[in-house]
Chains A and B, each alone.
Chain A
Amino acid sequence: TVPTGEELALGRLATPDEIAAWDIDIRPDGAGLPDGSGDVWTGEELYVENCASCHGDFGESIGRWPQLAGGQGTLTRDRPVKTIGSYWPYLSTVYDYVHRAMPFGDAQSLSDDDVYAITAYLLYLNDLVDDDFVLDREALAGFDMPNVNGFYPDDRAETEFGVFSAPICMEDCRNEVEITARAEVVDVTPDDETARLAREAAAT
């Protein structure tokens, strides 16, 4: 019989310092948040120094980098603008993600207070707090984001599976078939000279 993981007793106990070093995740209820705090104006300084070169001075984004602010009320429009303010359901996600993965290319370089301050500034850029706002553990865990009720669990089983398991047609299923969209007209596919030459060589 194959031994179970429980019987094998592999690995060793993790030390408290090891767990503290790696367990940096934050939850919406505030679990995982460190002591500390940061205000909007400190956040602005840090943001300009560390973030604005990609995300823009006002979170509007440079080039194709993510837009962090604005877009409120656009989720039902054509071309919705999904930002922290318009889309993200929880503020804890901002703290967690900035702390674990930003700035891009220099991850985990910000102190706990830095991340509180930048998070406060991002709220300010999204018109969700005044400029004298100070963010700390309690304020963050209790903060209501505008789109917190904008999400619901996967419901494909109820809304789609029945429709897409219906009997299908095999013969004379439709009349005219018309081409309604063409990728060659859009013309955004990278050219592949190597492949074209290889095809031509193989055909001769």
Chain B
Amino acid sequence: MSEHKGPSRRMLLGAMAAGGAAMTTGMARAAGDPAITELQPWMRSLGDGVDAHPYGMPSPFEAHVKRRNVEWLTADPVSSVNFTPIHELDGIITPNGLCFERHHSGIARVDPSLHRLMINGLVDREIVFTMDDLKRFPRYNRIHFLECAANSGMEWRGAQLNGCQFTHGMIHNVMYTGVMLRDVLAAAGVKPTGTWLLAEGADAAAMTRSIPMEKALDDCMIAFKMNGEALRPEQGYPVRLVVPGWEGNMWVKWLRRIEIGDQPWQHREETSKYTDLLPDGRARRFTYEMDAKSVITNPSPQAPLSHGKGPTVLTGIAWSGRGTIPRVDVTLDGGRNWHQARMDGPSLEKSMHRFYFDFDWDGRPLLLQSRAHDSTGYVQPTKDALRAIRGPDSIYHNNGIQTWHVDERGEAENVEVG
């Protein structure tokens, strides 16, 4: 367990000595740090009052921490995707305003007083709920990741986009508050022949997916809050489906209807899309679960090492659609030697996990990789291992190991190694 011992005391002392030398030079130049020796405006004048920001926003110095899109990926920004700035985040909770978006007909602006959820089909009672009705079912809180099935899909044929925001940012991880789908279904009374359900959204795409009843009764939720506040419009306000561990497309937003049936509907999003073409020309369908995956978020192409040699914090995220992440391995030399990373923070089912690897950087180039293990014993494969089975055209479900090349300056690049 203790393969990684962390930086030795000798290494730390050496680094401090080096830092001390740099500081001495700076002092000689400026006779003291002006950040200390000069009075800053915020030390003298008054700041905003408590009435200035009824809904607060991040510091203007953090203006670069934002969702970004890649114009050439899609025909139009309305049926498109943007990316969570995971290289700027820490811990496991994604702030609501930074959660990536994926719409098929834009953000529906739903008036909650006019929103209804209908349950029909193979049930004893076909029912309509208002939002007020839904909020009277017993309420639960769960933290789960939502990963787009296409996350990392642009990387199947090789290193393409330069930054983990773009290669791995179709993901967010928030605490949902809502009701269990099984309770809502029980109110309608699912007939014994009801083995599948169809979830449908209220937007102009009227997004539909077929979901097996077993999953619906297990851990699916109908959520109306994320991270304590109402869902954001772009995340399905006033209500969305939560399908823990399964591909993001199934988490139907602006959920307006659930039909119970005895077979899948084979709709566009489970035939034309979200099916995975393999080398023999046939395709997997119903590839629901998101396999164990990880990525180093710092350093990464958008987050270079700017501090030079010495103590360095490497960090990243790992997750699995099948359970928890008890362990992540990290390599600095492209997979020749691996070290066990330090997991920190909550470890929850089908949620993001945070890992760290604290090391002393000697200034030489690095080939960084992380390898997640999940609670079923599955170990995150390399991209080559995945391509050996699936070929390069399956679009979805790319959970292959990511490599960052860090050069002597600390600049990082998305690469593949062989």
Contact = CB atoms under 8 A, between A and B. Distances in A.
Interface centre among B281, B287, B301 (most CB of A within 10 A): B281
Contact of B284 (A4, A84, A151, A174): A151
A31 B172 CA distance: 37
B284 A188 contact: no
A49 interface: no
Given A82-B277, A182-B415, A101 B206 contact: yes
A150 to B, nearest CB: 5
A11 B182 contact: no
B193 interface: no
A40 B122 CA distance: 36
Nearest to B339: A170
A24 B367 CA distance: 53
Interface stretch (B14-22, B128-136, B349-357): B128-136
Contacts of A168: 329, 338, 371, 379
B72 A188 contact: yes
Interface residues of B, number: 106
Contacts of B272: 82, 84, 87-88, 93, 97
Contacts of B70: 188-190
B7 to A, nearest CB: 20
Interface in A8-41: 8-14, 18-19, 22-29
Does more than half of chain A's interface fall in helix, strand or loop, or is it mixed?
loop
Interface in A139-184: 150-156, 159-161, 163-166, 168-175, 177-184
B268 A96 contact: yes
Contacts of B385: 163-164
A47 B344 CA distance: 56
Does more than half of chain B's interface fall in helix, strand or loop, or is it mixed?
loop
A91 B279 CA distance: 24
Contacts of A181: 158-159, 415-416
Given A25-B265, A171-B337, A178 B204 contact: no
A195 B64 contact: yes
Given A11-B187, A14-B127, A65-B75, A150 B205 contact: no
A10 B188 CA distance: 9
B417 A179 contact: yes
A172 B337 contact: yes
A90 interface: yes
A154 B282 contact: no
Interface in B308-362: 329, 333-338
30 contacts: A5-B137, A5-B184, A5-B185, A8-B183, A10-B134, A11-B187, A14-B119, A14-B120, A25-B259, A80-B281, A80-B393, A84-B272, A87-B272, A92-B266, A96-B267, A100-B208, A105-B78, A107-B105, A107-B205, A156-B284, A156-B287, A165-B377, A168-B329, A173-B336, A173-B337, A180-B158, A181-B158, A188-B160, A198-B63, A199-B304
- Give the 8 A-B residue pairs with the shortest CB-CB distance, closest first: A5-B183, A177-B334, A5-B186, A64-B75, A183-B414, A75-B281, A181-B158, A181-B416
